[in-house]
Structure 1
């Protein structure tokens, strides 16, 4: 994520201050708009379940496409060439998985007033150990994701301002702003800022592509460079590379679709029709976002040939510098682009923080510690614990423990273990609670053990080995140990299916 920009400095600081002020203004607006509305879990965490098509679309967009997509994907495309075209199906896969469960989950969310994905698991299985284990795995995944975003914010701010604002100061500055507007307006603040940041990110991405096509050569020029200097970059993945990309498709496709903060956007939709219309718009985004930044990376092959791996990580900054030197329009467009990248990272982090707080307040504190507490107190507890978690993560992010990629993968390895309970539970009334718990726990232990031991048998990611074991135990256990008729009938009443 760290990008050094020759044109950065006080212009970068100005843009960051502008974005920061705009985010705070959105938080104040959302607070004033709802000042007379009674504070409730639904209002604070789901925006009153009234998000319209465009706001819902952009908040989904901000959830799936962080600023890391813009600065992290082009260098990988530069190094791998057309093999990295698989980055577009990553996001198509996410939409396909959404469509497996989102409309049905929305209907159940309305019917049973569900607030979080843990709410759904508790309703479906009525098991304290399953609910708590799922909550812990989701909190771990969300905390991991927040750490990733905090590291990216600090690196981005430092790069955009040419080191004028140090890494640590950038982290603290934007986190304080994020916590402030999230605290003031909840989901409405988050969704509105997601909309602003999504528009800024799309503008920046297309400006970068157009400028690259005009001044840095197009895809034919890049193809000629690859033919002459790196013909392997024109080929499709084969052998072990093919296995790796297939595994990534499954891991990212399922893992990103079951983000806990994505679940809350499903519950926050104004209607099922609104949800489906937002997904229709999301279906184009893999081509308009991942596809565009992929082309930027390919164009970089001819614009800046023979970069080392470390140098290629600065590719987007190099291309932005080249464009910024052309004229005043592209100078400010590139400054706005990187300001938008940082704002987009913040928009991802605010969504994660809100869902983290909701699981604490609703699923742990509200369900097991103080079930009779007023909703305003539950919200306050969620806010306070969320701020405490942010402080801990900031201390960790102060000196990052690993690369962004390592943090990114580890998140999915664990989070994906909740998929059988979340998705199979929607359709299979004979799913056994004990089998679900054993499968989830065993899959998590195996995935974690393989990850920390650095094992990847047959080139398959440890999270997928964990998921395979999880599914075998979950499905096999359910087939061998049939649920009681009373449990099956209750499952049928919840999901409305006889299977």
Structure 2
């Protein structure tokens, strides 16, 4: 199939989503609550799919299948089963309580909710800055993935930088116009489309190779260890580290956490987190099976050269137009993540940094305008970073970069989760306690990721590189830091007294 036709499929899909965004723009009020939360009116299907599509990222489509190809299909357990269930539980434990508080107090962000409880704007700003620091590289991840996908789809006719710039420009226009309402609508379209396409891809490949048994048998012949549970890579400690870090990290992602406030009703929220594990499995099982099966499908030399395994499987076993549709869906999934990140990142800056610390009298209309400008600035900065990293890397390193960035960001966000849970459910939590727990765990985690191993005191098992945190006694450093944050939040709170500005009654809310 010609490059022009492949590009027309991708561009046509982008234009369709832009049309939805323009419709949403005409319906969106010029207020922060409507721009960032769609006035808290999301129903079950839209809320479920907007969270779902927000998490369909380059890490899922271009990192996950490659991990399954390299190490075996157990990645389905890590992302599909364990994280599907763990995140659903956390959606109830954290998200439900946040929704109740948000309904009662009108909060739009996590930082605003915590700042209200502990009577400090500095805590709001701290949460926002930490979140933006970890969010920035994750936006870059989407841009790297999109640039790589378009370059591969067009055989290099669209270079990496061109693809990344094109997607970034589209995202800026879309997010500035659409706001939460438009993003949630397109998320629903994109999530449903991607589910259909990934299952169609699986069935197409299965039919081409002679059935599920044949595909599994060929995989077992090429890599016999893939037919047994566990390996040197899939140790229980490593799998649990990934699963816990990802699930707890996801709950603190701004673009996910903010959606906890947006449900139309308590019933909507409960239905959504109950259906979540089913939806996750429906996506991850076919995507990661295709990656694992690729071991026996005769494309090992290409993957070894650094290509994305999912794209190679589709190119080999499906028509060009179908592969282009799947890539278009994957790019749309990346944009679903990126546009939500840009919107939430903008709200964290304008709502929790600029408004309380710079201009407390900022009007809703001015905040709405500032938020739209912030989207463009944040996206452009991330594009520059993605071009410096992805554009300078050998193609064989790109997949590793995606996984490294994703794993690092998950762990960084996960450090916020346990202090937040303590604050939500224990009235004895003090401002000093939550400050100590958050700051200490973040600093130790950053040191464990970035500093040389020789400077760390605990015994190290396995290699360490930037983006792949060290493992100590078999467990990832992110888990140790999460426990550190929990112990310090509880311990320091027990030893300190609340200030006059703190008000634990802010969280005294009950279900209807």
**How high is the TM-score relative to the length of structure 2?**
0.88
- Equivalence for 1:404: 402
Change (3 A) 1:183 1:451: same
- Equivalence for 1:159: 152
Alignment of 1:280-299 (within 5 A): 280-299=274-293
- Equivalence for 1:462: 477
Give the whole-Å Cα distance in 1 for the aligned partners of 2:430 and 2:299. 56
Preserved CA contact (<8 Å) 1:219 1:298: no
- Equivalence for 1:230: 223
1:67 CA displacement: 4.8
- Equivalence for 1:4: none
Give the whole-Å Cα distance in 1 for the aligned partners of 2:2 and 2:119. 55
1:172 CA displacement: 1.6
Preserved CA contact (<8 Å) 1:60 1:262: yes
Q: Note the alpha carbon deviations across 1:356-399, whole angstroms, 9 max, x for none.
A: 11011111111221111211111222222331222221111112
Give the whole-Å Cα distance in 2 for the aligned partners of 1:195 and 1:405. 26
Give the whole-Å Cα distance in 2 for the aligned partners of 1:228 and 1:177. 44
Alignment of 1:27-106 (within 5 A): 27-34=21-28, 37=29, 39-86=30-77, 87-88=79-80, 89-106=82-99
Give the whole-Å Cα distance in 2 for the aligned partners of 1:249 and 1:141. 18
Alignment of 1:99-138 (within 5 A): 99-138=92-131
1:495 equivalent to 2:488? Answer no
Change (3 A) 1:132 1:8: farther
Alignment of 1:383-398 (within 5 A): 383-398=372-387
Deviates more, 1:73-82 or 1:231-240: 231-240
Give the whole-Å Cα distance in 1 for the aligned partners of 2:487 and 2:260. 29
- Equivalence for 2:417: 419
- Equivalence for 1:3: none
Change (3 A) 1:67 1:208: farther
1:259 equivalent to 2:253? Answer yes
1:71 CA displacement: 3.4
- Equivalence for 2:348: 359
Preserved CA contact (<8 Å) 2:252 2:414: yes
Q: Secondary structure at the match of 2:421?
A: helix
Deviates more, 1:75-84 or 1:354-363: 75-84
1:141 CA displacement: 1.8
Q: Secondary structure at the match of 1:400?
A: helix
- Equivalence for 2:457: none
- Equivalence for 1:175: 168
Alignment of 1:314-333 (within 5 A): 314-325=308-319, 331-333=320-322
1:473 CA displacement: 1.0
Q: Select which of 426, 429, 440 maps to 1:428.
A: 426
Preserved CA contact (<8 Å) 2:245 2:478: yes
Preserved CA contact (<8 Å) 1:130 1:436: no
- Equivalence for 2:200: 207
- Equivalence for 1:245: 239
Give the whole-Å Cα distance in 2 for the aligned partners of 1:465 and 1:487. 32
1:370 equivalent to 2:364? Answer no
1:50 CA displacement: 0.9
Give the whole-Å Cα distance in 2 for the aligned partners of 1:471 and 1:313. 41
Preserved CA contact (<8 Å) 1:75 1:313: no
1:81 CA displacement: 2.2
Deviates more, 1:99-108 or 1:68-77: 68-77
Preserved CA contact (<8 Å) 2:58 2:402: no
Give the whole-Å Cα distance in 2 for the aligned partners of 1:72 and 1:450. 23
1:305 CA displacement: 6.7
1:170 CA displacement: 1.4
1:226 CA displacement: 4.8
1:286 CA displacement: 2.2
Preserved CA contact (<8 Å) 1:420 1:471: yes
> Paired residues, what number?
481
Q: Note the alpha carbon deviations across 1:306-349, whole angstroms, 9 max, x for none.
A: 55863575321222122334xxxxx4332211111111101110
Q: Secondary structure at the match of 2:428?
A: coil
Give the whole-Å Cα distance in 2 for the aligned partners of 1:84 and 1:373. 47
Q: Note the alpha carbon deviations across 1:22-54, whole angstroms, 9 max, x for none.
A: 1221221112234xx4x1111111111111222
1:452 equivalent to 2:450? Answer yes
Give the whole-Å Cα distance in 2 for the aligned partners of 1:428 and 1:8. 61
Give the whole-Å Cα distance in 2 for the aligned partners of 1:180 and 1:305. 38
Deviates more, 1:169-178 or 1:342-351: 169-178
Preserved CA contact (<8 Å) 1:12 1:161: yes
Gapped regions of structure 1 (runs ≥ 5): 1-6, 326-330
Preserved CA contact (<8 Å) 2:83 2:247: yes
1:227 CA displacement: 4.6
Give the whole-Å Cα distance in 2 for the aligned partners of 1:206 and 1:235. 25
Gapped regions of structure 2 (runs ≥ 5): 391-397, 452-463, 465-469
Q: Note the alpha carbon deviations across 1:232-269, whole angstroms, 9 max, x for none.
A: 22222257722111111110110012211112212111
Deviates more, 1:374-383 or 1:438-447: 374-383
Preserved CA contact (<8 Å) 2:50 2:188: yes
**How high is the TM-score relative to the length of structure 1?**
0.90
Q: Secondary structure at the match of 1:119?
A: helix
Give the whole-Å Cα distance in 2 for the aligned partners of 1:375 and 1:436. 30
Give the whole-Å Cα distance in 2 for the aligned partners of 1:162 and 1:223. 30
- Equivalence for 1:481: 496
Deviates more, 1:40-49 or 1:168-177: 168-177
Change (3 A) 1:178 1:202: same
Give the whole-Å Cα distance in 2 for the aligned partners of 1:56 and 1:242. 33
